[in-house]
Amino acid sequence: MKTIMTALLLLLAFAAHAEDQKGDELDKIILTINGESITISDMLSYASLRDGAPLAEDPVAAQNQILNEMLTTIMLSQEAGRLGLEKETSTMRTLKFMRMNVLRDALIERMMNDQSVSDEELKKAYAENYPVEPEVRYLVRHILVDDAAKAEEIISQLDKGEEFEGLARELSTGPSGPEGGSLGWISPELVVPAFGEAMLKLEKAQYTKAPVQTQFGWHVILLEDVQEVERDEPPALETVRPVLEQQIKAVKVQSEIQQLRETMNIETPDESMIQINRPDEAESTE
């Protein structure tokens, strides 16, 4: 990234005439290819979008690499236009969605820039991301089966004194089965919500008395032990401020996107063939 930025700064320096001309630098024409003018802004835009080979370490070489790639791209796109390829159905469809993607990204960037972050929001995010209290971890085993009846039968066997570890090796369909169902020391946030909620309700050496359903199947969960682990010293707030501000802004932008989804008018010819996510299931901006 540093190399790229240095190369781009060289481009700006290339166009600079005097300090009072900065407003015109980005619009300066640096090349004309078959009558098509290319400005510093064009080159910067191309550099930000390129997905070719890694840039050279030397900034000047990197700048020349970008320049030559852009020359080839412009030349081939001009030739494609001359051949009428932009009017082909598949090309038009691709261009349509490329345009949408560019507009989407431009809007999200503007929405991010328009967000403000208060000191209270920043302190709250800091406390959530860098807690100081000890972390509580749980030593857990589980038995995973594909239906509730099987899980209930396992619970009945445990009630009769059967060993949890042995039943897990024999009956569990999960990858931890051969290890007696052991998940090791885990934190609640590392497991799916239904599993974590059931785990937190258990006392040491207690197992769930009813099957716990998740998207993976039906679980019987055993809590073997609980421990507290001291956390590392958190970084200073100022050192993580930019990251936290971006996180807060991203959440706000996601909320705005969900609000926009609620205003959409969607019609489908056959609703049984298409599933539309609810607004709270919208895609993440990250």
Half-sphere exposure of residue 11: CA atoms within 13 angstroms, side-chain side: 29
> What was the pLDDT predicted at 31?
85
> What was the pLDDT predicted at 55?
84
Phi and psi based region of residue 283 (left: phi greater than 0; alpha: psi -120 to 50; beta: remaining)? beta
> What was the pLDDT predicted at 284?
43
Q: What is the pLDDT along the chain (286 residues), one digit of tens a residue?
A: 444 444 555 554 444 443 444 557 788 888 898 999 988 888 888 888 888 788 888 888 888 888 899 999 999 999 999 999 999 999 999 999 999 999 999 999 999 999 999 999 999 999 999 988 898 999 999 999 999 999 999 999 999 999 999 999 999 999 999 999 999 999 998 899 999 999 999 999 999 999 999 999 999 999 999 999 988 899 999 999 999 999 999 999 999 999 998 898 877 776 556 666 655 554 444 4
> What was the pLDDT predicted at 46?
87
Distant-in-sequence, close-in-space partners of 199: CB < 8 Å, separation ≥ 6: 138, 140, 188, 191, 221, 223
> What was the pLDDT predicted at 277?
64
Domains and CATH numbers, the chain: 2-87 (no CATH), 95-133+231-261+276-286 (no CATH), 134-229 (3.10.50.40)
Give bridge partners of residue 147 from the DSSP assignment: none
CB distance 146 to 173 below 8 Å: yes
CA pair distance 34, 77, nearest whole angstrom: 12
